[in-house]
Copies of this chain bind each other. A is one copy, B any other.
Amino acid sequence: MYRCDMKSMEDKIKTFSKFGDAGHGGITRYALSEEDKMARAEWLRRMEAIGATIEMDDLANMYATLPGSEPGLKRIVMGSHCDSVKNGGNYDGILGVMSAMEVLETVVRENIPHRHPLTAMIFTNEEGSEFPPCMMCSGTMAHDYMPERFRDNFEYSKMMASKSILTPDVTFGERLAAFPYKGDKANRMSPEKYMALFETHIEQGPILEDAGKDIGVVTCVLGQMLYRVKFYGFAAHAGTFPMKKRHDAFHAAAEALCYLHEEIDKLGYEDLVYTTGEVVIHPCVNTVIPDFFDFSIDVRHENPEVLNKVREILFSLEKREWQKCKCEVVLGWNRDTVYWDKKLVGYVREAVEELGISHMDINSGAGHDAQYISYMIPTTMIFAPSDKGLSHCEVEHTSVEQCTNAATVMLNAVLKADKDQ
């Protein structure tokens, strides 16, 4: 078994944490920003230093490749994104970029034999913080391989027209045109040139920490559905309208929300998650009884049967009135569970077992670039634990040892895949 180097990983974490450092522990590093440029320049410097061949594509995805010993074989690629959310942490995304660098550096340092070319990469704009949507460039690359119903979300022309949420007169296309790290569309990842993708990422949840495990062998990205639950009451004057005659849409929604929690919890699935994060209320005036209240509900589980049971509970809300208000449940969108390639998942599991690192199978509740790439080539993921499960915030943390372990597992899993054609 080969092992990655803790000192080298520590140096990378410290260095990349500077690019976008806001001065209180985390970073803000939007895609195609000055901070993104700094991170890519550093990545480029380090990858050139080990003699990797650098390629960039038209979406500013970057690839650093070490040739394999057998000509004609496809590349095995490792990578993630280096952009962040606003006031995000030093691990989300960039850990996958650093781990891939660390794997290539270890391969060179230890002179590890490998048949396939090995590639470390950076995906552009995974977070979509300034230019939505999330996972924009992996989605655009995988466009032609996606199920029909997702394709429209990742049309190239639509992505180029995506407007900045900071300066709405600037589009992603314009920002990309001015960005230095670009190349040919021909350099995009494709099934013709690439055999498999490994993405290392932080868990962003507390499951590994709570179980006392150092590595998550990720098996899938959870199926997800988003609904809006709407309540229609009528507005009246806060001071003059008797309680008994009111149709209060907020009271209706509050009652229905409590009911949803009760009923969904009764299903008894510990690994089911659902979140009511977004709210619209009208007219939102303290002297007026609300005539409209709408909340989002995001539900995630691996098993479509379980999602169906939740869907049934949701639609049961429509069958009665809530505080005399009509209820309507409207689909936002849904996706099926995306399973990682079984063979690759097996390689990760074997590697972590052979290394003697504590581990467990886990699924990903969050979306990742790997999930779109999986429509194109065999794909899998490796999770490192997140302290207290916190992520997308400045206190986001994973120890250097855990980060290095994740890179080590990826290295050894990649070497197992390297034995395949």
Residues of A within 8 A of B (CB): 203-207, 222, 224, 226, 235-245, 248, 250-251, 253-255, 257-258, 261, 265, 270-279, 281, 283-290, 295-296, 298, 300, 332, 364-367, 389-393
Contact = CB atoms under 8 A, between A and B. Distances in A.
A205 B237 contact: yes
A287 B276 contact: no
A238 B389 contact: no
Nearest to A256: B254
Given A239-B273, A242-B271, A253-B254, 6 more contacts: A205-B240, A235-B393, A237-B366, A241-B365, A251-B261, A276-B290
Nearest to A243: B273
B237 A250 contact: no
* Chain copies in complex: 2
A90 B392 CA distance: 53
Contacts of A245: 206, 389
Contacts of A243: 265, 270, 272-274
Given A279-B250, A281-B279, A389-B245, A238 B287 contact: no
A240 B289 contact: no
B296 A286 contact: yes
Contacts of A392: 237, 288
Count chain B CB atoms within 10 A of each CB in A242, A265, A295 and give the residue with the most. A242
Contacts of A285: 277-278
Contacts of A273: 238-243
Contact of A275 (B207, B289, B332): B289
A250 B391 CA distance: 20
A244 B272 CA distance: 11
Contacts of A255: 254, 258
B279 A242 contact: no
Contact of A254 (B206, B236, B254): B254
A248 to B, nearest CB: 8
Contacts of A391: 236-237, 240
Contact of A389 (B241, B290, B332, B366): B241
B241 A222 contact: no
A271 B207 CA distance: 51
A274 B238 CA distance: 7
Given A257-B250, A279-B284, A206 B242 contact: yes
Given A245-B389, A257-B250, A298-B286, A240 B279 contact: no
B389 A204 contact: no
A277 B300 contact: no
Given A226-B286, A258-B254, A207 B237 contact: no
A222 B238 CA distance: 12
Contact of A257 (B254, B279, B283): B254
A306 to B, nearest CB: 13
24 contacts: A204-B239, A204-B240, A205-B236, A205-B237, A207-B242, A222-B239, A235-B393, A238-B300, A239-B300, A239-B366, A239-B367, A241-B389, A243-B265, A251-B257, A251-B258, A253-B254, A255-B258, A275-B286, A276-B290, A277-B283, A277-B286, A277-B288, A279-B281, A286-B296
